[in-house]
Amino acid sequence: MRRLARRLRRGEVNLLKHKSMELLKQRILTEGKCFEGGILKVDSFINHQMDPVLMGEIAAEFVRRFAGSGTNKILTIEASGIAPAIMTGYLMRLPVVFAKKKRPSTMENMLSTTVYSYTKNRNYDVCVCGDYLRPGDNVLFIDDFLANGNAAKGILDLVQQAGARLTGMGFIIEKAFQHGRDALAAYGIHIESLAIVESLDHCTIRLK
Ligand code: 5GP
């Protein structure tokens, strides 16, 4: 694993790309379930039960796609972003910070922002301690889904409040029909999604 991590960081390993991401797409098609309002559940390998081997390959692909970005810290939001983020941080040998959805009463030097949750249809606060997101940090955001882009915008706000810089955003699954990528375009962010869902119409998963 260590040798693989080194080779990935140097950009020497490209073989994983097609195989592993094809596997991700196959898993989405065979195990994904559609729900009202364009929600896709992938509870059998990402959102509830997790497949660490697939997650490791997802992380390897993020390392490959963000090689040379100058990242020194990975940022995610609890809970489903933590698994891909920690795997990516492990391979990149970088610390991983997760933004919290509940304000801990003991947190000092808190940065916070409000995010609208499309899946839960309500606003929630996300916060991070300014000790772990600092001026000069070069931050890669990793999350499970990109939908409307609200969580991503909240993260951008936290990064800006901290005086840090965003190096990119990596998502396992992008739901293109909810246009989060367009919502983020104005900020000039390097966005990478490993599988892109074009439509969930009639409960059929259509991938790009
Ligand atoms: P956005 O803020 O881009 O609208 O939504 C992104 C966040 O909402 C992600 O952090 C993800 O956890 C959640 N989310 C959005 N759409 C879906 C979905 O179809 N399935 C699941 N499991 N989570 C979603």
Task: Report the distance separating Cα 208 and Cα 197, nearest Å.
Answer: 6
CA angle 38, 81, 16 (to 5 degrees): 95
Specify the pLDDT at position 8: 63
CA of 39 to the centre of ligand 1 (A): 8
Q: Would the pTM of this model clear 0.95, i.e. be above it?
A: no
Residue type, 25: K
Q: For atom 20 of ligand 1, which residue has the closest CA?
A: 40
- Chain center to CA of 115: 15
Instruction: Evaluate: CB of 171 within 6 angstroms of ligand 1.
Output: no
Instruction: Evaluate: CB of 149 within 6 angstroms of ligand 1.
Output: yes
Regions of the chain with pLDDT less than 70: 1-18
Beta bridge partners of 170: 142, 192
Task: Report the distance separating Cα 112 and Cα 86, nearest Å.
Answer: 22
Q: Which residues of 28-137 form beta strands (DSSP E)?
A: 33-35, 39-41, 73-77, 96-99, 110-117, 122-129
Specify the pLDDT at position 189: 96
Q: For atom 9 of ligand 1, which residue has the closest CA?
A: 145
- The continuous run of DSSP H or E covering 21 comes out as helix 16-31
Tell me the fold of 2-207.
Rossmann fold (3.40.50)
Provide the phi-psi class of 38: left if phi over 0, else alpha when psi is between -120 and 50, else beta.
left
Question: Relative to the CA of 116, which ligand 1 atom is closest?
Answer: 2
User: Each residue of 123-173: pLDDT tens digit?
Assistant: 999 999 999 999 999 999 999 999 999 999 999 999 999 999 999 999 999
Specify the pLDDT at position 76: 98
Q: Which residue has the tokens 């970088």?
A: 94
Q: For atom 11 of ligand 1, which residue has the closest CA?
A: 145
Q: For atom 23 of ligand 1, which residue has the closest CA?
A: 145
Among 126, 58, 112, CA closest to 89? 58
